[in-house]
Amino acid sequence: MSQLAQPLISAKTMLVGLIGWPVSHSVSPAMHNAAFAALGMDWRYVPLPVNPALPGAVGDAVRGVRAMGMRGVNVTVPHKQAVLPFLDRIAPAAQAMRAVNTIVVEEDGSLTGDNTDAPGFIADLRGHGVDPAGLHALVLGAGGSARAVVYGLAQAGVQRITVANRSIERAHQLLADLRPYLDAIRCQAVTLPDGLAEVADAPLIVNCTPLGMTPHVDATPWPLELPLNPGQTVYDLVYNPPDTLLLQQARRHGARAIGGLGMLIWQGALAFERWTGRPAPVEVMRAAAEEQMRTRKGQPSTARTAKEIQVRLATPADADAISRLHAMLQSCHAEALPTFFKQPPTEAFSASMVKDLLAEPSNVFLVAVVDGKVVGYLYADVSPAQETSMTYRLERFWIHHIAVEPSHRRQGIGTALIDVAKAYARDQRIEILALSVWTFNQAAVRFFQAQGFEVYNYRMWLHLARAVP
């Protein structure tokens, strides 16, 4: 993302920041500084590492926020509870959660502790078109984020809440602590995972455990054999990786799948509004957070070497794997454009259809293999475009699909497939690789641009029935 110009730092620059330990991997500085720049505000957001091992450090840090004329700070692990005694006022959400994620320095210099995690979660859920009012919500986990989610859901009018946790005592404790906020909501605690079967049909399932988070991307809180259904929404608070195994399970069963980055963005947007009194530029913050996630430094690299990824032409024996990968691709498209794309399973790209397409001489199927398993494929054809009165005849290698198993994303597999496609086209003396990209798929646009593609062609249509006259 291009960097927007910010005014030079001066005595007038207003400061906010993040106290926690560690804070070096936080996406918040990028998100907030992009928002300030977009609005031309002379504000800065700085990471402030506060070492919990230093006696008195948390109190000193909170007092320092006021003493140094800052407008406020976010608070993250491990200080969300530790800051409580140093505040003048605790907002109801923070009181309920016994945790503060945002401190606001009020006009009179007093300090208010608030928590934007719960409203952030609800804002993102609603932003995805899911209204929790009247629903049965199944919350997996009973830690800090589960408290925020249960409180948010209660405020949003859920009818029933089940908390599933590995240690059931902690689930009971959570419900007992939040009892004053749960009104007439029917509440229940079950053991994770054994108790899930009896509540597995809950229309809203929220993962508040770290299962599936990098580097443990093969973990999931949902037993693989336990079904989900198309009427359900699965929200995973984990946002790194953006597509967790749980979200893949959800999509495979036709359920709606939503990742946790939106909650992170919304809790930041709400903190921004508390400090500045201005509406947050949420889309700017989203773009900055997504960019930050892609370019995180200091993360253990997951990139694989070319030796580990074998790309070869597909054979009929790969048809099942290609068909399965296509179903995931289709489900992402159906989720983004439900009026256009059908949810899998569809007849398109069944294994037998893939076998037929493989037999067509003009089609090219490449598969990427890691540890003996097909984890990605690319489907293209090399039929020439005819010259028309408006365009030249350009022979092109037209890429119809490229898909990578979500657990193998960001490892160079897409790049390896494109590299082999480029080599294949060069061998055939074809000068142009081409494709079209759907506007919703900005990740694909960025990926292809990184591979050297220029994006010419978005797809658009007008729904006459929905259009404003």
Ligand X SMILES: NC(=O)c1ccc[n+]([C@@H]2O[C@H](COP(=O)([O-])OP(=O)(O)OC[C@H]3O[C@@H](n4cnc5c(N)ncnc54)[C@H](OP(=O)(O)O)[C@@H]3O)[C@@H](O)[C@H]2O)c1
Which residues carry out catalysis? Answer: 80
Query: Distance between CA atoms of 455 and 160, rounded to whole angstroms?
Result: 47
b/e code 297-332 from CB counts within 10 Å (16+ = b):
eeeeeeebeeeebebeebeeebbebbbbbbbbbbbb
- In angstroms, give the least distance from the CB of 204 to ligand X: 16
Q: Which amino acid belongs to residue 336?
A: A
Using CB under 6 A as the binding rule, whether residue 304 contacts ligand X is answered as no
Query: Distance between CA atoms of 155 and 136, rounded to whole angstroms?
Result: 14
Residues 150-169 that bind ligand X (CB under 6 A): 165-167
Using CB under 6 A as the binding rule, whether residue 264 contacts ligand X is answered as yes
Q: Give the strands of the sheet with 363-370, arranged side by side.
A: 309-313, 363-370, 373-381, 396-404, 432-434
49 and 25 Cβ atoms separated by less than 8 Å: no
Using CB under 6 A as the binding rule, whether residue 113 contacts ligand X is answered as no
Using CB under 6 A as the binding rule, whether residue 18 contacts ligand X is answered as no
Half-sphere exposure of 218 (CA within 13 A, CB side): 1
Q: Which of residues 72, 152, 260, 376 is near ligand X by CB under 6 A? A: 260
- In angstroms, give the least distance from the CB of 256 to ligand X: 17
In sequence order, what DSSP letters do the residues of 451-469 get, joined into one string? TT-----EE----TTTS--
Residues 176-215 that bind ligand X (CB under 6 A): 192, 208-211, 213
What's phi and psi for 383, nearest 5 deg?
Answer: -70, 135
Q: Which amino acid belongs to residue 353?
A: M
Tell me, residue by residue from 405 to 444, as one string, x for binding to ligand X by CB under 6 A and - for no binding: ----------------------------------------
Select 18 or 425, whichever has its Cβ closest to ligand X.
18
Which residue number has the CB closest to ligand X? 143
Task: Candidates 5-13, 136-144, 280-288, 337-345: pick the segment binding ligand X (CB under 6 A).
Answer: 136-144
187 and 121 Cβ atoms separated by less than 8 Å: no
Q: Which of residues 104, 118, 161, 238 is near ligand X by CB under 6 A? A: 238
H/E element, 199? none
H/E element, 418? helix 413-427
52 and 22 Cβ atoms separated by less than 8 Å: no
Select 162 or 209, whichever has its Cβ closest to ligand X.
209
Select 284 or 433, whichever has its Cβ closest to ligand X.
284
Select 259 or 376, whichever has its Cβ closest to ligand X.
259
Q: Which of residues 17, 29, 113, 141 is near ligand X by CB under 6 A? A: 141
Select 288 or 437, whichever has its Cβ closest to ligand X.
288
For the record, the structure tokens of 35 come out as: 């928002």
Q: Which of residues 17, 144, 242, 414 is near ligand X by CB under 6 A? A: 144
For the record, the structure tokens of 281 come out as: 């530029």
45 and 36 Cβ atoms separated by less than 8 Å: yes
Select 189 or 202, whichever has its Cβ closest to ligand X.
189
Q: Which of residues 48, 93, 139, 146 is near ligand X by CB under 6 A? A: 146
- In angstroms, give the least distance from the CB of 189 to ligand X: 11
- Which residues fall within 8 angstroms of residue 126, CB to CB, at 6 or more apart? none
For the record, the structure tokens of 363 come out as: 């089609």
Using CB under 6 A as the binding rule, whether residue 263 contacts ligand X is answered as yes
Residue count at the site for ligand X (CB under 6 A)? 24
Task: Candidates 8-16, 142-150, 319-327, 396-404: pick the segment binding ligand X (CB under 6 A).
Answer: 142-150
288 and 308 Cβ atoms separated by less than 8 Å: no
Residues 33-72 that bind ligand X (CB under 6 A): none
Using CB under 6 A as the binding rule, whether residue 16 contacts ligand X is answered as no
Select 97 or 105, whichever has its Cβ closest to ligand X.
97
- In angstroms, give the least distance from the CB of 235 to ligand X: 9
Using CB under 6 A as the binding rule, whether residue 237 contacts ligand X is answered as yes
286 and 341 Cβ atoms separated by less than 8 Å: no
* Residue ranges in contact with ligand X by CB under 6 A: 117, 141-146, 165-167, 170, 192, 208-211, 213, 237-239, 260, 263-264, 267
